Amino acid sequence: MAHLQQPHTNAAIQMSKANLFYAQSGGVTSVINASACGVIETARQHKDRIGKVYAGRNGIVGALREELIDTGKETARAIAALRSTPSGAFGSCRYKLKSVTENRREYERLMEVFRAHNIRYFLYNGGGDSQDTANKFAQFSLEQGFPITCIGIPKTVDNDLPGTDNCPGFGSVAKYVAVSIREAGLDVASMCESSTKVFVMEVMGRHAGWIAGAAGLASEQEGDAPHIILFPEIPFNREKFLNKVKRCVKKFGYCAIVVSEGAQNADGSFLVDTGGRDAFGHAQLGGVAPLIANLIKDELGYKYHWAVADYLQRAARHIASATDVKQAYAVGKAAVEFALKGKNAVMPAIIRGKGKRYTWRIGEARLADVANIEKMMPRNYICRDGFHITDAAREYFRPLIRGEDYPNFKNGLILKPSTALGGLNQDKGPYPYARAILAITILFHRHNVASC
Amino acid sequence: MAHLQQPHTNAAIQMSKANLFYAQSGGVTSVINASACGVIETARQHKDRIGKVYAGRNGIVGALREELIDTGKETARAIAALRSTPSGAFGSCRYKLKSVTENRREYERLMEVFRAHNIRYFLYNGGGDSQDTANKFAQFSLEQGFPITCIGIPKTVDNDLPGTDNCPGFGSVAKYVAVSIREAGLDVASMCESSTKVFVMEVMGRHAGWIAGAAGLASEQEGDAPHIILFPEIPFNREKFLNKVKRCVKKFGYCAIVVSEGAQNADGSFLVDTGGRDAFGHAQLGGVAPLIANLIKDELGYKYHWAVADYLQRAARHIASATDVKQAYAVGKAAVEFALKGKNAVMPAIIRGKGKRYTWRIGEARLADVANIEKMMPRNYICRDGFHITDAAREYFRPLIRGEDYPNFKNGLILKPSTALGGLNQDKGPYPYARAILAITILFHRHNVASC
């Protein structure tokens, strides 16, 4: 392992005031920067105990490569602006630390960097894998006699973390898909008699149908879009589905369908893995929406349109849910407070109040109980026929999309995080990510870190 | 032809105060209801000259079937609310009147309905085809000795109408695609080192690349998404394109691509043509994003994601451009004023001021000069290499996406027009469009109108 940057000495490590390392992990969400904002602003309120707040350039990889962004160089205004910027301002990565026995070097490297920079707090903002990493690292650091307080910060559009009522990032995707299918549904409705009769919108959700289910909120009265939802949890039944489409078109004039990317056959295989041709007779290119649309065209002859929202849905800060933004900020804030209270290997969780009116507060979940477990939609959230959501689901989803939290615009466009973090990037040229990647590539070879 | 509804008599036709018929045509936009609002509110200010304002249920078909919605039954508040609702509140249709010699019966039928309802003003809100219809009908009504004042109201997301600087509906799609590719681009950028390297977003635009071009606004500094735009105007060059993708990934770490649905081969054929045709005989497109993504995967091996926005883009009232909403309202208002001034067979046009600061005013275009002509992007709006927009294009596009005009939300969802038009739909049950379609189906057979 290469030498650490100077002038970090052992003396620095002995300082009573410790530094904090924050990293974003996995697929970003439209509100992950709100969590970052919560972390940094709260840490700044505790300058007696927290020294520097470092953010990892491209997540945990930034620690392995000693690419630490000193957020202290940013003005309070720049940090506040983070709250409403899309994407991951510091960069993220898809990188899972293996077990200690499988890759001890990585854990040692992290320890080395943390020691050198007097980092005693590690806040890891991600999904199940990240909570697992944080949990493992807490244990490892204890064994090494340099205990690092490891706090997970929940984040996933998939909403599949256990131990929390919902996951920051999900509410905004939920709002995006519900608003989008309402808008597109009305569009189709307004001219279905002489034009498109079937509209299919594909949404994310490989194993759990939370996102697809949330789109169901758009249907408030009989006949509203979406008319059919295809969940990963319910095996696809071709005949039942086609009959339902036909009935919808007869009754309402059109049929709006939301399909989860993870929609499955009865044998558990994905619909898109069946090797079928796509809507255009070409080799399958991925995309269950064109597959479904083509099936309907072939069997029922209806004119169709389809959309695949893909990253647009999880990146859409412009239509973020105000509830989601607040909660994303709150878990960031709570993570710092947990760390200062001496908690370890836990994650702030969102706890829903029991009353009829929606209330929530921050609770606590043990990382060991959260890591690597996917929370599926309860069966009672899906209608008996498998094609829509129940009132129980509506009650769950509804408050999560409530409220609008509009970001700042300039020249008609949403501001980039680089604009928000002007100070950080000013000396890095116009393209911080790309520059960072170049820098990382160099460090990469220098440090000889395992490839990711 | 069936009898007209009673008690419309010849005496009614002689009244000095005439009625107005407004119809929405073709694919709707997120601001077409703002034009409807402009028409109705302005007509109400001229009660001395305009009696009833009828809207056609499902556009011109509503006139052929005598399905006239009396907007006078709506409160001022309900009409004002129209301004910010998505889709076509009164329904639209894909239905083009043939020439008088080809289908005289239809023209006669329209005359019959207009006479019976003392309609002397016909305001047709649509694209090139609709302006053509309005123009033909103005001529026909003159020949019939019952002159109808025909005013076109521009509307098309394609922005391809001549005689106007831009078309209402376009600015909002432009804003949607620019904001979306910025958000998704930042998402990809934040984790491109270890994950997706290529993102392809497909946008509308069959023959003209206006929408694809507007997405280029998101790129303000070198390295910003989108890095490549594929226009219908520029024949697709596989080698040049792949080289450019490779260079982008090398330089910026990733490559974000916007591709127009109408992207074409050198021989003029679409990259993707499903073989389907709509009521106007246009080819049904869609699905070029997966094609492009797959090509890149095969040739360069990069991990990719793709999105097809389809109707989401033109229906997205939640991210409408304030400039667009204002202009959509203004052309509706001007159409009524033109009619009252005795103008005929014209269309309000948007005229851009010459100064450096963007200004616009309403001018006038002859329908004969507008009908059936597609305005393409000037070649000097596209970079020399064919893969991006020039500064001249930026100057043109920028003001059109400026400003946000947020609609009303309830329970986290954008309001439906049926909610806005509560009075109109109250006695129609929960689903006005479907109910209307049932009613129309009955009338359809009664009137024996040509099928659409």
Q: Please give, rounded to a whole number of angstroms, the shortest distance from the CA of B370 to a CA of chain A.
A: 24
- Asked if B93 and A194 come within 8 Å (Cβ–Cβ), the reply is yes
Coil, strand or helix: which one is A23? Answer: strand
Residues of B in contact with A317 (CB under 8 A): 183
Q: In angstroms, rounded to a whole number, what is the distance separating the alpha carbons of residues B150 and B242? A: 50
- Asked if B404 and A403 come within 8 Å (Cβ–Cβ), the reply is no
Residues of A in contact with B406 (CB under 8 A): 404, 406
Q: Please give, rounded to a whole number of angstroms, the shortest distance from the CA of A67 to a CA of chain B.
A: 14
pTM equals 0.90
> Which ipTM score applies to this complex?
0.90
Residues of A in contact with B278 (CB under 8 A): 195, 303
- Asked if B183 and A316 come within 8 Å (Cβ–Cβ), the reply is yes
The active-site residue, picked from A158, A160, A278, A324, is A158
Q: Please give, rounded to a whole number of angstroms, the shortest distance from the CA of A424 to a CA of chain B.
A: 15
E-assigned strands of A224-327?
A: 228-230, 255-260, 304-308
Average pLDDT in the A317-336 region? 98
Q: Does residue B226 have a cis bond before it (omega within 30 degrees)?
A: yes
Which residues on adjacent β-strands are paired with residue A255? A198
- Closest CB to B437: pick one of A89, A93, A193: A193
Model confidence at A402: pLDDT above 90:
yes
Residues of B in contact with A318 (CB under 8 A): 179, 183, 318-319
Mean pLDDT by 10 residues, chain B (452 residues): 42 66 96 98 97 96 95 94 93 88 93 96 95 94 95 97 97 98 96 94 94 98 96 96 98 98 93 62 71 93 95 98 98 98 97 96 97 90 98 98 97 80 35 38 36 26
- Closest CB to A191: pick one of B28, B182, B186: B28
- Asked if A194 and B274 come within 8 Å (Cβ–Cβ), the reply is no
The amino acid sitting at B124 is Y
Q: Please work out, in degrees rounded to the nearest 5, the angle formed at the alpha carbon of residue A226 by the alpha carbons of B22 and A274.
A: 125
- pLDDT at residue B444, as a whole number: 40
A130-177 confidence digits (pLDDT tens): 999 999 999 999 999 999 999 999 999 999 999 999 999 999 999 999
- pLDDT at residue B282, as a whole number: 57
DSSP code of B404? B
pLDDT-derived band of residue A44, with 50, 70 and 90 as boundaries? Answer: very high
**Across A193-197, A340-344, A438-442, least confident range:** A438-442
A48-63 confidence digits (pLDDT tens): 999 999 999 999 999 9
Q: Please give, rounded to a whole number of angstroms, the shortest distance from the CA of A411 to a CA of chain B.
A: 6
Element (H, E) at A346: strand A346-352
Residues of A in contact with B315 (CB under 8 A): 180, 183-184, 186-187
Q: Which residue has the higher pLDDT, A70 or B274?
A: A70
Beta carbons of A401 and A175 less than 8 angstroms apart: yes
Cβ atoms < 10 Å from Cβ of B207: 18
- pLDDT at residue A241, as a whole number: 98
Q: Please give, rounded to a whole number of angstroms, the shortest distance from the CA of A172 to a CA of chain B.
A: 10
Q: Which residue has the higher pLDDT, B194 or A382?
A: A382
The active-site residue, picked from B129, B132, B158, B324, is B158
- pLDDT at residue B422, as a whole number: 39
Altogether, the residues listed in chain B come to a count of: 452
- Closest CB to A312: pick one of B184, B293, B318: B184
Residues of B in contact with A452 (CB under 8 A): 193-194
User: How many contacts (CB atoms, under 8 Å) link A and B?
Assistant: 298
**With the CA atoms of A313, A350, A72 and A14 taken in that order, what torsion angle do they form, in degrees rounded to the nearest 10?**
-140
Average pLDDT, chain A: 88
Q: Please work out, in degrees rounded to the nearest 5, the angle formed at the alpha carbon of residue A402 by the alpha carbons of A397 and A407.
A: 130
Average pLDDT in the A297-326 region? 97
Q: Are strands B119-126 and B18-24 parallel, antiparallel or unpaired?
A: parallel
Which residues on adjacent β-strands are paired with residue B56? B68
- pLDDT at residue B213, as a whole number: 98
- Asked if B94 and A195 come within 8 Å (Cβ–Cβ), the reply is yes
Model confidence at A24: pLDDT above 60:
yes
> Phi first, then psi: what are they for A306, rounded to 5°?
-145, 155
Does residue B158 have an active-site annotation? yes
Residues of B in contact with A253 (CB under 8 A): 433-434, 437
Q: Please give, rounded to a whole number of angstroms, the shortest distance from the CA of B357 to a CA of chain A.
A: 13
- Asked if B414 and A183 come within 8 Å (Cβ–Cβ), the reply is yes
Mutation target to probe the A interface, by most A beta carbons within 10 A, among B308, B317, B444 is B308
- Closest CB to A285: pick one of B91, B199, B293: B293
A114 phi-psi bin (left φ>0, alpha ψ -120 to 50, beta other): alpha
- Closest CB to B413: pick one of A24, A217, A311: A217
Burial class (CB in 10 A: 0-12, 13-18, 19+), B401: buried
- Closest CB to B86: pick one of A91, A186, A409: A186
- Asked if A87 and B183 come within 8 Å (Cβ–Cβ), the reply is yes
Residues of B in contact with A279 (CB under 8 A): 274, 286-287
